Amino acid sequence: NETVVYAFICLFVINVVMTAIGVRISAQ
């Protein structure tokens, strides 16, 4: 199902973005 795959990719991307933001905040 393409919808499930698309949702999984979105969650993965959000997780990566939030992690990157967290790292930047921690670095500062």
Tell me the domain boundaries of the chain: 1-28
Residue 23 has pLDDT above 90, yes or no: yes
Residue 3 has pLDDT above 90, yes or no: yes
- At 26 the pLDDT is 92
Residue 1 has pLDDT above 90, yes or no: no
Residue 14 has pLDDT above 90, yes or no: yes
SS3 state of residue 28: coil
- At 21 the pLDDT is 96
The confidence band for 27, taking pLDDT boundaries of 50, 70 and 90, is confident
**From the DSSP assignment, how many helices (H) and strands (E) are in the chain?**
1, 0
Please write down the long-range contacts of 9-18, taking CB distance under 8 Å and 24 or more positions apart.
none
Buried/exposed 18-28: b ≥16 CB within 10 Å, e otherwise: eeeeeeeeeee
